[in-house]
Amino acid sequence: MNAAVARNLSRLSAVVLTAATLAAAAKASEIDVTKSQVTATFRQMNVPVEGRFKNFRGTIDFDPRKLMAARARLEIDTASFDLGAPEYEDELRSKEWFDTPAFPKASFVSSGVIALGGNRFVARGKFTLKGKTQEIKVPFTMRSDGGARVFEGELSLYRKMYAIGSAEWDSTLEDKVVVKFRVTTAH
């Protein structure tokens, strides 16, 4: 094979690979935020407190028969955390907590999915909050509901890993935060 043919085959391979990647990306479904929910529960003075994030968006490309191609991206507006009390929400936007002026978004980007059997899975990926990125595992279930897919799960995060709250809060506020989600996409 001469050099010109090899270069052309190489270019053709690159074009085919790029087209396949773009086609796979095009299959990603937008999250239907009107049918989805992300909440966070923590304990303050041993009393559970739950809030929800009102603004988030993302895409999910998921076929349980093609887990190697599964991808998810979620972006959460940290200023949208709603505890039902505006004075607390204003405090949570401050530098000590979410520092929303400097870090307005939290994000999760998956890097792989494994099947656990039935409709149970675990997504691996990077979660970024307040400028700190950690590898996490997100257990979830997936079910079909008419023309939609519903992904539900729960995981524990630790606020100190993300510099959320100062040490003076340690005796009042538990480190563990339980994040629950129900995310709906079109098939």
Q: Are 110 and 71 in contact (CB under 8 A)?
A: yes
Tens-digit pLDDT profile for residues 30-42:
999 999 999 999 9
- The superfamily in CATH containing domain 31-186 is Lipid/polyisoprenoid-binding, YceI-like (2.40.128.110)
Q: Are 103 and 130 in contact (CB under 8 A)?
A: yes
Which pLDDT does position 102 carry in this prediction?
97
Look at residue 23 and tell me whether its pLDDT is greater than 70: no
Q: Are 49 and 69 in contact (CB under 8 A)?
A: no
Q: How far is CA 138 from CA 96, 164, 178, in A?
A: 26, 20, 12
Pairwise CA distance, residues 20 & 12, whole Å: 12
Domain definitions of the chain by residue range: 1-28, 31-186
pTM: 0.82
Look at residue 46 and tell me whether its pLDDT is greater than 80: yes
With bands split at pLDDT 50, 70 and 90, how would you rate the model's confidence at 9?
very low
Tens-digit pLDDT profile for residues 104-162:
999 999 999 999 999 999 999 999 999 999 999 999 999 999 889 999 999 999 999 99
Which pLDDT does position 20 carry in this prediction?
38
